[in-house]
Amino acid sequence: MTPAPQQMPHAEGVSDEEFRAAMARLAAGVVLVTAHDAEESARGEDVGMTATAFMSVSLEPPLVLISVRTDSRMDELLTRQDLWAVSLLTDAQHKTAGRFAMKARLSDRLLFKELPHRHGAATGAPLVDDALAAIECRTEQRVAAGDHTLVIGRVLATHLTQGEGGPLTYFQGRYRSLR
């Protein structure tokens, strides 16, 4: 019997399933990557994407990195403009994470309507109220990596917000709280 495509080993010997199962055991903090699409056809729409692939890269200069799936809405937007932000979500914000991870969602405009936020002065990107922190960035480098693009950003501003509670984490396919 031919194995299902996701179970087929790659040339290097690991199937998608094996790779996913191993990576699911890495506990990760959940962030909302955001940007303001200033293009006229977008009518100034705010865009958001739930992500765990976010990390600090360098202190001097201050750099961070996000990994964005090629052809996602955020990937397309960040090829046109270089300002974006990341909000570090609290465990009380798991519904927000779930909403901004849905592929066939109605519109980010509606989602942001129901999400308390303000726009960062450095980037114009939405910053989620009551997140643990928010970081505003300008893209410094883009690196194509398989089906994702690594976007390295210079940190323009940081905000420590009033978020109560612990970080929202993702582990073995579920949102978790450390408390």
Ligand X SMILES: Cc1cc2nc3c(=O)[nH]c(=O)nc-3n(C[C@H](O)[C@H](O)[C@H](O)COP(=O)(O)O)c2cc1C
Q: Which residues bind ligand X (CB under 6 A)?
A: 30, 49-53, 67-69, 72-73, 100-101, 103, 170
State which residue, 73 or 123, has the beta carbon closest to ligand X. 73
Query: Measured between alpha carbons, how far is 15 from 28 in angstroms, rounded to an integer?
Result: 22
At its nearest, how many Å lie between ligand X and the CB of residue 55?
10
**Residue placing its CB nearer to ligand X in the complex, 29 or 62:** 29
Query: Whose CB is nearest to ligand X?
Result: 53
User: What is the side-by-side order of every strand in the sheet holding 54-58?
Assistant: 45-51, 31-37, 83-88, 133-145, 148-160, 63-69, 54-58
At position 97, the amino acid (one-letter code) is A
- What are the CA-CA distances from residue 74 to residues 68, 139, 166, 170 (Å)? 7, 13, 27, 21
Closest approach, Cβ 121 to ligand X, in A, equals: 25
Taking the complex as a whole, the smallest distance from the CB of residue 145 to ligand X amounts, in Å, to 11
78 in Cβ contact with 151 (< 8 Å): yes
Amino acid type, 155 = V
Nearer to ligand X, 72 or 161 (CB): 72
Which CB sits closer to ligand X, 9 or 98?
A: 98
- The nearer residue to ligand X, 101 or 152, going by C-beta atoms, is 101
| Contact call for residues 35 and 83 (beta carbons, < 8 A) | yes
Contact 57, 131 (CB under 8 A): no
CB of 3 to ligand X, least distance (A): 25
Contact 165, 153 (CB under 8 A): no
Least distance to ligand X, CB of residue 84, Å? 13
